[in-house]
Amino acid sequence: MKMKKIDPETWHKFRRHCMAQQQLAPSTIEETIRKLRYLEKREIDLMNLNPEDVYEFLAEKMDEGAEATALNHYVKALNRWTKFMGWDIKFKQYREYEKPIKIPTIEEVKAMADVFNKRNKEHRLKKMIIVALVKTGMRNNELCNLKKKHIDWIRKQIIVFGKGGGMKKPRIIPLDDNFLYGKTYPSLSNYINHWRYTPKYPYQNFLFINKNGKNITDSYVRKVVKEAGKSIGLDWIHPHSLRHFYATNLLRNGVNIRIVQKILGHADIKTTVRYLHVIDNDLQIAIENFEDPFLKKGLQRSLKHLNTLCKTLSVKIYGPARI
């Protein structure tokens, strides 16, 4: 029996179901559909789903080296589909193990931005993407959907609409003067006034515009960050690495973890707490590099001055009027 592919009308109904009943964010819905379409290409019949076919597909992905995180993307997509279809089928997610967070240094972040140093709109857009991710800690999708009207130039902050059950949760991110107004700095005002591509209708309100006159996409942001990273030898870098950099930078500068959670838009404080392990590593390094006075040579006082804390003050020079 030939497999029947899903028609556009069914995809439309699935989108509406995900949005209204499963309360998924638009980006999550599109990512789910991409995974399901891929499953169709791999001969998984979504209209007559056989769990054995799914498990065989997942086993093949394991043989190819896929990790639990990647497998769970398919599992979540399938569970959303079965819920839409009204089937009593639910696939169990694989256990994920948390990986150590890799964070670029200040020097590496600066070098990434400096990769795009040409005085043209393409390079200025790419540089601004790097700078904006570093200065705000925004997620990919949040950066792509940022609009000019979300910038409060007076209060020096932006309103970001993040993920959260399809109902976009707004949060405020404070900005500094350099990022907003700097003349010799990759600032928002410089970009908007001199280097922003002319937007086409209906993309006029989006802040970051590509050469086609549309707002930038998630894949474009990933491509820009990867390009910058590879240029300086950081093959592992990705957009979320710059979000990690922003978060740890706040914590290193003494910002309360609850405030960091709020700025980043973390629903669970446990997500933010992960960054404290990086700060703990900083503390260990600081202890190991502590300048130990007992290891310094030539600090033994001579017997003559053993009980002397400092040189005797000269009454002539440091009289009562001058002390």
With CA atoms as reference, report the closest residue to 28 among 82, 76, 98.
76
- Residues 303 and 67: their CA atoms lie apart, in Å, by 68
With CA atoms as reference, report the closest residue to 128 among 74, 179, 181.
179
Active-site annotation holder among 220, 243, 244, 246 = 243
In this structure, are residues 64 and 57 in contact, taking their beta carbons and an 8 Å threshold? no
- Residues 74 and 93: their CA atoms lie apart, in Å, by 9
In this structure, are residues 243 and 139 in contact, taking their beta carbons and an 8 Å threshold? yes
Active-site annotation holder among 171, 223, 266, 274 = 266
Instruction: Respond yes or no: is residue 277 known to be catalytic.
Output: no
Phi, psi values for residue 284, rounded to 5°: -65, -40
Instruction: Respond yes or no: is residue 275 known to be catalytic.
Output: yes
Active-site annotation holder among 168, 240, 262, 274 = 240
Instruction: Respond yes or no: is residue 163 known to be catalytic.
Output: yes
Tokens of 267: 């629903």
Helix-then-strand count for the chain, H and E: 13, 3
In this structure, are residues 94 and 72 in contact, taking their beta carbons and an 8 Å threshold? yes
Instruction: Respond yes or no: is residue 266 known to be catalytic.
Output: yes
Instruction: Respond yes or no: is residue 55 known to be catalytic.
Output: no
Active-site annotation holder among 150, 163, 196, 244 = 163
With CA atoms as reference, report the closest residue to 26 among 195, 164, 228.
164
Q: What order do you get walking across the sheet with 151-152 strand by strand?
A: 151-152, 157-162, 169-174
- Give Cα 50 to chain centroid, integer Å: 37
Active-site annotation holder among 80, 124, 126, 139 = 139
Instruction: Respond yes or no: is residue 123 known to be catalytic.
Output: no
Query: Which positions are catalytic?
Result: 139, 163, 240, 243, 266, 275
